[in-house]
């Protein structure tokens, strides 16, 4: 067995609503706000598209000819050869790590960010270097200081999971300008569709200017397709040719591709969802306890507290399943009625607990 596996754990999905109800003796409904899914689900056109594509389930998927590749290429104004699909963005992260990293190589990222960058680096026998967040934000100056001649991949999650915070276009561009050309800089934009800030990076522009940039996105969050497992990278063609060698031949299913295609084509629905999300997020950003939460450009908030487990348990008893971290709790937006109740519950929590 690879020795480094002893440092790692299999992904812990958390207890199901039923298990939690039993554990905490709860009678009422429990809402899962722990994984940043879009509770409204995908565009109704997705269901229709899936139903219309049930007759050829016996064929292997023609991954290279997916219509969604054409759709995305037009939508993003990039070449089809610049798009690479994976079974969720998670798989794309794994394939990139497997393609690039050799034992002794280094990856660089921040503490308190998406865990898969580090996880796959360790499996590939690479070293992981991280710097602390600065007031909840990636600290690119500190990260720059950690670059060595072994650094191969730099992962920037923007907006960041779990804090919801983001770095501006200029901040990221001035960083990339300084980074040596042979280091790949990956910008994970899993939440980009939710972002409203004016200075949010135009990452595709960065990609066209700097060959070393890779942009990562998914259908799992704003598009509401987490169950379908489809995400993608946009990058220069020579890198994608290498990823293609490592990729399993049929890594994305035909129905996921059909679902993604229908979802991307319905931008009206996406806009409705993301606007609704923003209204809900702003209720929290303006709440009485606002000093406890980071400014979020996503569909979740990060509540800072010295007693995350206390807050987590408190929320469970109110019927909310959330995600605890060492210094806080991450809460996904639910439906309006959930969020309004959540606001009240958090108000009471911070009135009765002073941290
Ligand atoms: C959810 C998430 C992913 C993975 O998404 P899938 O496409 O569902 O695998 C990747 N990065 C970040 C930051 C995420 O939050």
- Tens of pLDDT, residue by residue over 36-51, are 999 999 999 999 999 9
25: left (phi over 0), alpha (psi -120 to 50) or beta: left
Q: Is the pLDDT score of 73 beyond 70?
A: yes
159 lines ligand 1 (CB under 6 A): no
pLDDT value at residue 47: 96
Tell me how far the alpha carbon of residue 130 is from its chain's centroid: 18
Q: Does the beta carbon of 188 lie inside 6 Å of ligand 1?
A: yes
Burial of 204 (0-12, 13-18, 19+ CB in 10 A): middle
Q: Exposure pattern of 138-153 as b/e (b: 16+ CB <10 Å)? A: bbbeebeeebeeebbb
Instruction: Return the closest-CA partner of residue 171 out of 184, 191, 153, 185.
Output: 185
Band of the pLDDT at 230, cuts 50, 70, 90?
A: very high
Ligand 1 centroid to Cα of residue 249, in Å, is 22
For ligand 1, say whether the CB of 109 is within 6 Å of any of its atoms: no
Closest residue (by CA) to atom 12 of ligand 1? 190
CA nearest 167: which of 132, 130, 192, 146?
192
pLDDT score recorded for residue 18: 84
Give the H or E element holding residue 217: strand 213-218
Q: Which pLDDT value is given to residue 187? A: 98
- Identify the residue whose C-alpha is closest to ligand 1 atom 14: 190
- What average pLDDT does this structure show over 317-322? 95
Spatial neighbors of 63 by CB under 8 A, at least 6 apart, are 85, 249, 250, 251, 252, 257
Is there an atom of ligand 1 within 6 Å of 90 CB?
A: yes
SS3 at position 174 = helix
Average predicted confidence (pLDDT) for the chain: 96
Q: Which ligand 1 atom lies nearest to the CA of residue 114?
A: 13
Query: For residue range 239-297, what is the model confidence (pLDDT) as tens digits?
Result: 999 999 999 999 999 999 999 999 999 999 999 999 999 999 999 999 999 999 999 99
Residues 36 and 221 sit within 8 Å (Cβ to Cβ): yes
From 327, 325, 331, 354, select the one nearest 343 (Cα to Cα). Answer: 331
What digits encode the pLDDT tens for the residues 112-169?
Answer: 999 999 999 999 999 999 999 999 999 999 999 999 999 999 999 999 999 999 999 9
| Residue 335 clears pLDDT 70, i.e. is over it | yes
- Cα-to-centroid distance, 90 and ligand 1 (Å): 6
Residue 74: band (very low, low, confident or very high) from pLDDT cuts 50, 70, 90? very high
Mean pLDDT of the region 323-337: 96
**What is residue 278's predicted lDDT score, i.e. its pLDDT?**
98
Question: How high is the pLDDT of residue 224?
Answer: 97
**Domains of the chain, with CATH numbers?**
3-41+268-350 (3.90.1150.10), 44-265 (3.40.640.10)
pLDDT tens sequence across 2-19: 999 999 999 887 778 888
26 Cα–ligand 1 center, Å: 30
> In the structure encoding, which two tokens stand for residue 273, read together?
């969802």
CB 189 near ligand 1, within 6 Å: no
188 C-alpha vs ligand 1 centroid, how far in Å?
8
Asked if the peptide bond before residue 344 counts as cis, ω within 30 degrees of 0, the response is no
Tell me the mean pLDDT in the region 26-37.
91
Binned at pLDDT 50, 70 and 90, residue 28 comes out as confident
User: What pLDDT shows up at residue 354?
Assistant: 67
Burial of 98 (0-12, 13-18, 19+ CB in 10 A): middle
pTM reported for the whole predicted model: 0.97
Mean local confidence (pLDDT), 172-201: 98
Instruction: Assess whether the C-beta atom of 231 lies below 6 angstroms from ligand 1.
Output: yes
**35 CA closest ligand 1 atom index:** 1
**What pLDDT is stored for residue 24 in this prediction?**
85
């Amino acid at each position: 067995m690879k020795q480094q596996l002893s440092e790692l754990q299999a992904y812990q999905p958390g207890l199901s609503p039923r298990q939690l109800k039993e554990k905490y003796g709860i009678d009422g409904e429990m809402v899962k706000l722990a994984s940043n899914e879009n509770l409204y689900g995908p565009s109704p056109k997705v269901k229709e598209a899936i139903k219309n594509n049930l007759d050829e389930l016996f064929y292997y998927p023609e991954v290279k000819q997916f219509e969604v590749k054409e759709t995305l290429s037009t939508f993003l104004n990039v070449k089809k050869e610049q798009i690479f699909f994976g079974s969720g963005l998670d798989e794309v992260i794994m394939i990139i790590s497997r393609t690039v990293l050799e034992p002794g190589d280094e990856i660089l990222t921040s503490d308190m960010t998406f865990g898969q960058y580090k996880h796959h680096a360790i499996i590939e026998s690479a070293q992981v270097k991280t710097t602390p967040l600065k007031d909840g934000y990636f600290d690119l100056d500190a990260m720059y200081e950690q670059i060595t001649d072994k650094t191969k991949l730099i992962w920037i999650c923007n907006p960041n999971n779990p804090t919801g915070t983001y770095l501006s276009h200029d901040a990221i561009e001035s960083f990339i300008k300084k980074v040596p050309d042979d280091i790949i800089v990956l910008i994970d934009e899993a939440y980009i569709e939710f972002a409203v800030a004016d200075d949010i990076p135009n990452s595709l522009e960065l990609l066209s200017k700097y060959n070393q940039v890779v942009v990562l996105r998914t259908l799992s969050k704003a598009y509401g397709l987490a169950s379908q497992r489809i995400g993608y990278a946009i990058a220069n063609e020579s890198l994608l040719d290498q990823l293609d060698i490592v990729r399993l031949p049929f890594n994305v299913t035909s129905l996921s591709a059909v679902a993604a295609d229908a979802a991307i084509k319905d931008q009206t629905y996406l806009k409705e969802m993301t606007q609704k999300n923003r209204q809900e997020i702003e209720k929290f950003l303006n709440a009485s306890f606002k000093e406890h939460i980071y400014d979020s450009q996503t569909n979740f908030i990060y509540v800072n507290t010295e007693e995350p487990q206390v807050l987590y348990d408190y929320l469970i008893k109110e019927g909310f399943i959330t995600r605890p971290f060492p210094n806080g709790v991450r809460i996904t937006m639910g439906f309006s009625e959930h969020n309004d109740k959540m606001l009240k519950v958090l108000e009471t929590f911070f009135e009765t607990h002073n941290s």
